[in-house]
């Protein structure tokens, strides 16, 4: 057993949520329990709360006050998935408490790593493990989502959405992107639509200004349509991509498809004071209660949380989880049905725990 000094435990708010959220969260919690047993000095206090569509049905609020307070006062938040298609606000909108959390806590950095563990999981010919290895940074508090709560009148003849880009937020975002690129292969791609939208001309202008402070990072600017094509044709060319909220939303699903699907796509939503770690996927209502949800995106999100907590012990725990996932993924028969396998959620989780 590895031993590290840790004086105070980390307090983690755990929000399993709805749909397959509780199933994949149960897997991640088992993995966290296992690494706590393996890394002396790692202490995690997991405080679980009900939130999401189920909680809305029970008490009328998907994110009750005590959940917000817990998120605010904990070291990090681990979230499964939230929202259900049939549970809606009176005006017909779906509940999206996971997006509300990004706005409440200003979690502007949506960090979405994309990594190919085994060539059998890639729909492209000839892609070797590790050749697809990039990170999408999605701005997560403004962009085309910024007017999402504006009411839509039933008798409206037209509707518009606002794409908000602010100088301050964009500067913060680009500094994050350049610094991340410096820790990787020092290549950063801006994805925008600066040939058409004034907001994106402004976004690119700020990118260019910030780029001058990072002469060691090679940059590239792509329109979102061209970026989509290149991500399919030559995903190996990408290192870090930074983009607007909606473009990031769409491109991260496309990117997940290159490495096995939504069950392989972890994420972190990071702000100045707190961070929420959750798989990119939603509640997958078609899979509820069948023990076939892929838990790997959730488990890798927990590993991202441990890295972000940034103690010697938590970094070591994250390393153990990543090594275990890598080792389990070497066996292409060890897959849930979304990746053309026959394993259950429990079997994949047990294999990862055994590898740890
Ligand atoms: P949202 O709008 O919140 O993204 P959604 O239902 O539109 O939710 P997802 O839940 O992300 O989209 O997933 C779409 C489909 O992908 C699911 O119905 C399911 O079949 C599959 N899927 C998503 N996550 C997983 C997973 N962890 N394991 C297996 N299949 C998954």
Residue nearest to atom 6 of ligand 1 (CA): 284
141, 214: one domain: yes
pLDDT at 329: 97
174, 289: one domain: no
pLDDT at 354: 98
Residue nearest to atom 4 of ligand 1 (CA): 282
Q: Which residues have CB under 8 Å from 189's CB, separation 6+?
A: 219, 220, 221, 222, 227, 238, 239, 240, 241, 242
pLDDT at 91: 78
Structure tokens that stand for 167 in this block? 């100088």
Q: Helix (H, G, I), strand (E, B), or coil: what is residue 115?
A: strand
Q: How many whole angstroms from 286 Cα to the centroid of ligand 1?
A: 8
Last residue of a domain, one of 257, 282, 311: 257
Please tell me the total count of domains within the chain.
2
236, 196: one domain: yes
Q: Helix (H, G, I), strand (E, B), or coil: what is residue 22?
A: helix
Q: What gap in Å lies between CA 100 and CA 241, rounded to an integer?
A: 24
Q: What is the best residue among 286, 287, 339 to mutate for testing ligand 1's pocket, by most ligand atoms within 8 Å of CB?
A: 287
pLDDT at 90: 83
248, 348: one domain: no
Residue 182 confidence (pLDDT) above 80: yes
Residue 229 lies in a domain: yes
Task: State which ligand 1 atom lies nearest to the alpha carbon of 98.
Answer: 3
User: Residue 201: pLDDT band by 50, 70, 90 thresholds?
Assistant: very high
Mean of all residue pLDDT scores within the chain? 95
Alpha helices in the chain (DSSP H): 21-38, 53-59, 65-73, 97-104, 167-183, 198-211, 224-233, 245-258, 296-309, 312-329, 345-355
Question: Per residue in 80-107, pLDDT tens?
Answer: 999 999 999 887 888 999 999 999 999 9
75, 143: one domain: no
Give the pLDDT mean for 300-324: 97
Last residue of a domain, one of 215, 235, 257: 257
Q: What gap in Å lies between CA 135 and CA 119, rounded to an integer?
A: 19
Residue 2 confidence (pLDDT) above 70: no
Q: What gap in Å lies between CA 83 and CA 178, rounded to an integer?
A: 33
Q: Which of 93-102, 107-116, 219-228 has the lowest mean pLDDT?
A: 93-102
Q: How many whole angstroms from 121 Cα to the centroid of ligand 1?
A: 17
Output the ligand 1 site: residues, CB below 6 A: 20, 24, 83, 262-263, 281-284, 286-287, 293-294, 297, 336, 338
Letter string b/e over residues 61-86, b meaning 16 or more CB atoms within 10 A of that residue's CB: ebbbeebbebbeebbbbbbbbbbbee
Kind and range of the H or E run holding 80: strand 76-81
Q: Give the predicted TM-score (pTM) of the model.
A: 0.96
Last residue of a domain, one of 204, 226, 257: 257
Q: Residue 126's CB: how many other CB atoms inside 10 A?
A: 7
Residue nearest to atom 12 of ligand 1 (CA): 282
Task: State which ligand 1 atom lies nearest to the alpha carbon of 83.
Answer: 3
Letter string b/e over residues 221-250, b meaning 16 or more CB atoms within 10 A of that residue's CB: bbbbeebbebbeeebeebbbbbbbbbbbbe
pLDDT at 1: 65
Domain that holds residue 350: 1-107+265-356
């Amino acid at each position: 057993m590895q031993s590290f000094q840790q004086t105070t435990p980390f307090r983690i708010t755990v929000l399993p949520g709805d749909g397959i959220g509780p199933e994949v969260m149960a897997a991640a919690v088992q993995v966290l329990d296992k690494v706590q047993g393996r890394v002396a000095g790692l202490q995690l206090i997991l405080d679980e709360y009900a939130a999401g569509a189920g909680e809305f049905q029970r008490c009328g609020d998907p994110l009750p006050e005590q959940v917000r307070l817990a998120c605010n006062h904990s070291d990090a938040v681990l979230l499964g998935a939230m929202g259900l298609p049939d549970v809606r606000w009176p005006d017909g909108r779906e509940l999206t408490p996971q997006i509300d959390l990004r706005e409440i806590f200003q979690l502007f950095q949506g960090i979405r790593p994309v990594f190919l563990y085994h060539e059998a999981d890639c729909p492209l010919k000839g892609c070797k493990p590790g050749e697809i290895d990039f990170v999408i940074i999605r701005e997560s508090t403004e962009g085309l989502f910024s007017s999402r709560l504006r009411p839509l009148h039933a008798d409206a003849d037209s509707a518009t959405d606002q794409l908000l880009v602010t100088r301050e937020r964009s500067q913060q975002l680009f500094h994050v992107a350049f610094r991340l690129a410096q820790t990787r292969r020092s290549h950063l791609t801006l994805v925008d639509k600066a040939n058409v939208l004034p907001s994106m001309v402004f976004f690119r202008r700020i990118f260019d200004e910030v780029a001058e402070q990072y002469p060691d990072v090679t940059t590239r600017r792509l329109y979102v349509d061209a970026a989509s094509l290149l991500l399919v044709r030559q995903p190996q060319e990408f290192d870090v991509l930074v983009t607007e909220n909606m473009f990031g939303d769409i491109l991260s699903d496309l990117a997940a498809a290159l490495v096995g699907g939504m069950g392989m796509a972890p994420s972190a939503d990071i702000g100045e004071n707190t961070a929420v770690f959750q798989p990119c996927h939603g509640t997958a209502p078609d899979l509820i209660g069948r023990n076939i949800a892929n838990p790997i995106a959730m488990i890798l999100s927990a590993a991202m949380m441990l890295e972000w907590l940034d103690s010697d012990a938590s970094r070591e725990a994250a390393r153990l989880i990543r090594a275990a996932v890598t080792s389990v993924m070497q066996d292409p028969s060890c897959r849930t049905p979304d990746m053309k396998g026959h394993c259950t959620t429990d079997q994949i989780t047990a294999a990862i725990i055994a590898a740890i």
